[in-house]
Amino acid sequence: MMEQVARYLAPTRLQQALAALAQPGGATVLAGGTDLMPQSHAGKVRPAPLLLNIRRVEGLDGIHVDGDRLVIGALVTVTQAMASDLVRRHAPLLVAVGEKFASEQIRNAATFGGNLCNASPAADLATPLVALDAEVELSRLADDGATLTRRVPVAEFFAGPGRTQRALDELLTAVHVPCAAAAQVARFY
């Protein structure tokens, strides 16, 4: 099914990625590829004529604290999150999730944004992020070229198997997780 792709873009800036998503016909977004590639080869996903590889977009691969929220960039891999002192301190449940997440090879490639946008009912990150009251940050380009963002609770982000609240011109840019209180205990089995 990848033969349907007529154009390939690999932007390095968010504005470039958002401009590509705003074009008529839309785009298929590629980050880690752990879901998209097998699904497209099996004929379960039909890519748009534009394949937008966001892997090199600056600013989407970081982890930081903003007030009382841990902000995890959409391109952060499960392995990166597991190794992060900030994640260990402020969202230790996500480390436990990572330890049970697929194989090491998949953990090294699978991104937070891709895992959520795939919208699989079996997505490893979905249930823990719902339990943590996390939000996704969606960005799009305004008519004047400015970047507009909105946040959607992860619990409301999913519209059914394989479907989300993300508009075609939006990109999931981050996940915002409330920092764990000292007395908070969470487990993942």
Give per-residue pLDDT as tens, 45-77.
888 899 999 999 999 999 999 999 999 999 999
| The pair of three-digit structure tokens given for residue 154, joined into one six-digit string | 């992860």
Q: How confident is the model at residue 2 (pLDDT cuts 50, 70, 90)?
A: low
Q: What is residue 188's predicted lDDT score, i.e. its pLDDT?
A: 75
Q: How confident is the model at residue 183 (pLDDT cuts 50, 70, 90)?
A: low
Q: How confident is the model at residue 182 (pLDDT cuts 50, 70, 90)?
A: confident
CATH number of the domain residue 170 falls in? 3.30.465.10
First to last CA, the chain: 36
Q: What is residue 68's predicted lDDT score, i.e. its pLDDT?
A: 98
DSSP-based three-state secondary structure for 185: coil
Taking the whole predicted model, whether its pTM rises above 0.85 is answered as yes
Concatenated DSSP letters for 58-103? Answer: TTSS-EEEETTEEEEETT-BHHHHHH-HHHHHH-HHHHHHHHHSS-
In the chain, % of residues over pLDDT 70: 97
* Residue 115 exposed, middle or buried by CB count within 10 Å (0-12, 13-18, 19+): buried
pLDDT in tens, 118-170: 999 999 999 999 999 999 999 999 999 999 999 999 999 999 999 999 999 99
Number of structural domains (the chain) is 1
183 part of a folded domain: no
186 part of a folded domain: no
189 part of a folded domain: no
User: How far is residue 126 from each of residues 88, 140, 153, 175, measured CA to CA in Å?
Assistant: 18, 23, 11, 11
pLDDT in tens, 3-36: 678 899 999 999 999 999 999 988 999 998 888 8
96 part of a folded domain: yes
| The pair of three-digit structure tokens given for residue 4, joined into one six-digit string | 């349907």
Residues spanned by the domain of 140: 2-178
158 part of a folded domain: yes
Question: What are the E-state strand segments in 98-144?
Answer: 135-141
